[in-house]
Structure 1
C-alpha cells in the first residue's frame, strides 16, 4: 500500500477526548497526516492546549468545549466542524472515563456516569457524524474506542468493561447500517496504555502497575498513546478502505482472540 494511502489532506476530522492521552495523540497524528482537526473535550483548558499545539505546527485545528453526554452539544460541535469545510470525513470517538469497583460495591450513580460517557457519548457522536456523512454524500470513517477489557473478566471493571462491550456492539451494528453510504465503522481495543487515565501518584506505584502488564506482552512493554493513535490513523485512512465492523487490538499481544 502506497504511503499516500495515509494522506488525509483536504479531509476534516473530529476527535473527542482530545485534551489528553490517546485523544490528544490521535488529534496530533491526524493533523500530521494533513487533516483539519476539530478537537473536542470536556476539559476546556486541555483541549485548547491541544489545538494550540497543532496550529503552532501549521496544522488546521480548532478547539471545542463539549460534554459528550449531551446530544445537543455533540450536534453543535459536528455542525461547527462541517461549517468550516462543508464536510466531515473522520470521527474518532475517544472520550471516556475509567471506573473501578467490585460488582457487589458498584453504585448506581457510578454505573450511570460511566455508561453515559463511555457508551451514550460515543453513540451521540456516531449518530451525529453519520447523519452528516450521509447528508453530504462524502462517506467517511468512524472509529470508536473500546478496550482490551472486553476480552476477559477483570476484578473491578464491571462498569468500564460493560460500557466498552456496548461500544463494540454499536460499532458492528452501525457498520452494517451505513456501509451502503460509503461509511466505514471500526473500533480500537487497546491493552494497557500509559496515559493520564492509567497514571499512578508516584513513579514506584506506576512501575508496580505496569510491570506485570509488560511481562504479559510478548513485546515486553506496555503501550503508549501514540501506539493507539497509529491504529486510529490506519482505520481512518484509505489504507483501511475495505475494513469495516472490525476490532483492531493494539495490545502488545497480551490477548489474541479469534
Structure 2
C-alpha cells in the first residue's frame, strides 16, 4: 500500500469493476476519493462499503461522454476537498459490433465514452490539479493487438487513449505526470459477455493461467499515481498476465 494521506483522487467509472477496485484501493491508502459514475446507486454503495463514515468520499453523477459532466465532477471535487492530486480514468464501455454491421452510433458512442471522455476529464482536471499531481488513464490490451472480433471500435478508442496520454504527459509536464495501464482480460461486469463467448480460448493464452482481478489493475494505477513512480511519465504498463508481451 502507498501513503495517499491528504491526497484527493478522482476515479471515473467507480461504481463497479476496475473503477470500484481503484476507489477502494485509494481509500485504503488514505486518500479522499471522488467516485464519478453514471450509476449513482452503484457508486453510493461502493462509497458506503469502503468509507462507512462518508468523510473521505464524494459521489458525483458522471456521463463520460459529456464535457459539461467532466467539468462538474472537477468542480465538485475542488469544492469538497479543496483540490485534486490524482485522477484515474476507469470509465468505459465494451460493446460487440462487427464492422460490416456497425452503425455510426455504435462507433461514435464507443469513441465518445472511451476516448472523448478521457480528454474531457483530463482537460478539466489538468487545469486545476495541484503541482506534483498524477493521472493514470486506462487503455487496454486491445490497443496493442486490435482486440477480439467485433471490437474494432473498442480497440481504436483504446489505441487513441494511449496516443493521447503520451501527448498529455508532454502538455502537462513538468507539473503533472500522465501514464496509462493496458489491462488484459479482467473479470468485471463489462467483460462477462466476452468470457461467456470465448473466455476459455483467451484464458489459454494467458501465461499466469487465469483472468485478472480488478484489484490487480487498481494496484498498478496506484503505483502510477504514487511517488514511487515519480520518474515515470508518458509510459504504459501492460498488465495482461503475459497474454501480450511486446
**2:45 alignment partner, one of 27, 44, 49:** 49
> Moved runs in structure 1, 4+ residues, more than 4 A?
205-208
Q: Deviations over 1:196-231 (max 9, x none)?
A: 00114xxxx956633222211111111011111111
How many Å apart are 1:84 and its aligned residue?
A: 2.0
Cα RMSD for the two superposed structures: 1.6
State whether structure 2 residue 173 is matched by structure 1 residue 151.
no
Give unpaired runs (5+ residues) of structure 2. Answer: none
Q: 1:251 maps to what in 2?
A: 240
After superposition, residues 223-234 of structure 1 pair within 5 angstroms as: 223-234=212-223
Alignment TM-score, normalising by the size of structure 2: 0.95
SS at match of 1:186: strand
Higher alpha-carbon deviation: 49-58 or 114-123: 49-58
State whether structure 2 residue 227 is matched by structure 1 residue 238.
yes
Q: Is the 8 A contact 1:31 1:59 kept in 2?
A: no
After superposition, residues 81-92 of structure 1 pair within 5 angstroms as: 81-92=77-88
Q: 1:166 maps to what in 2?
A: 160
Q: 1:129 maps to what in 2?
A: 125
- How far apart are the structure 2 equivalents of 1:192 and 1:59? 34
Q: Deviations over 1:156-190 (max 9, x none)?
A: 11110000111111100010111122x01011100
Alignment TM-score, normalising by the size of structure 1: 0.91
Name the count of aligned residue pairs.
Answer: 245
**2:65 alignment partner, one of 59, 66, 69:** 69
**2:182 alignment partner, one of 166, 184, 189:** 189
- How far apart are the structure 1 equivalents of 2:54 and 2:24? 12
State whether structure 2 residue 101 is matched by structure 1 residue 140.
no
SS at match of 2:60: strand
Query: Cα 1:216–1:53, aligned 2, differ >3 Å: closer, same or farther?
Result: same
How many Å apart are 1:76 and its aligned residue?
A: 1.3
Q: Is the 8 A contact 2:184 2:241 kept in 1?
A: yes
**2:202 alignment partner, one of 180, 203, 213:** 213
- How far apart are the structure 2 equivalents of 1:110 and 1:194? 23
Q: Is the 8 A contact 1:34 1:59 kept in 2?
A: no
